């Protein structure tokens, strides 16, 4: 079975898993899962049962932006709207 990827490898790879996003951004898993379900974090999935893959650079930037908006007091629907207008 596979070993966990090192931070060096993650930082150069194009795609990351949700667990690796947690390691990169320090966000809670349930938060990222919620964002994904709300359609705020786009992902790719090869087949139904395979892991969701996220584009690393774009997704990390997006999460940081969402965090910033949240810190400014915006609610999730408002953040969604802001992301749609992007």
Partner 1 sequence: MTDLKLAQSFALIALNAQSSLYLTNAKKVSLRCMAAAVILEANLEGCFTQAENKLTFHKEVLEQSHSTLYREKVLQPLLHNHTEVIGDLNWWLKKASNLSKKKLKKFEIAISDYLKSINMLEEIPSLLGSDMYFDSAGVEMRAYRSNLETYSRITENIRAEILEEGSVTDEIICMLWLLRESGCMHDFFSRNELEKVNTRMNELYQSNLLAKALFPIQIHHGIELGIKQLLEMKTKFMKTYTGSSINFFFPFLERSQAVFIETEAWFDNSNKRLNSVLTRLRSYGHEVKVIEGGSIATLKIDNMLYDAMPHFVIMRVPIQGVRLVPKHPV
Q: Find where tokens 């049962």 sit.
A: 49
- Which H/E stretch holds residue 16? strand 15-16
What is the pattern of x (binds partner 1, CB under 8 A) and - over residues 13-52? ----xxx-xxxx-xxxxx-xx---------------xxxx
Q: Which of 25, 26, 41, 23 is nearest to 79 (CA)?
A: 41
Q: Find where tokens 């690393």 sit.
A: 56
6 near partner 1, rule: CB under 8 A: yes
**C-beta of 6 vs 72, nearer to partner 1:** 6
Which chain residues interact with partner 1 by CB under 8 A? Answer: 1-4, 6-8, 17-19, 21-24, 26-30, 32-33, 49-52
């Amino acid at each position: 079975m596979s070993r966990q990827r090192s931070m060096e490898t993650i930082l150069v790879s194009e795609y990351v898993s949700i667990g690796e996003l947690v390691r990169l951004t320090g966000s809670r898993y349930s938060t990222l899962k919620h964002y994904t379900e709300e359609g705020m974090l786009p992902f790719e999935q090869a087949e139904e049962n395979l892991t969701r893959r996220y584009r690393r650079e774009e997704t990390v930037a997006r999460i940081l932006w969402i965090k910033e908006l949240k810190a400014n007091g915006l609610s999730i629907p408002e953040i969604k709207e802001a992301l749609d207008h992007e």
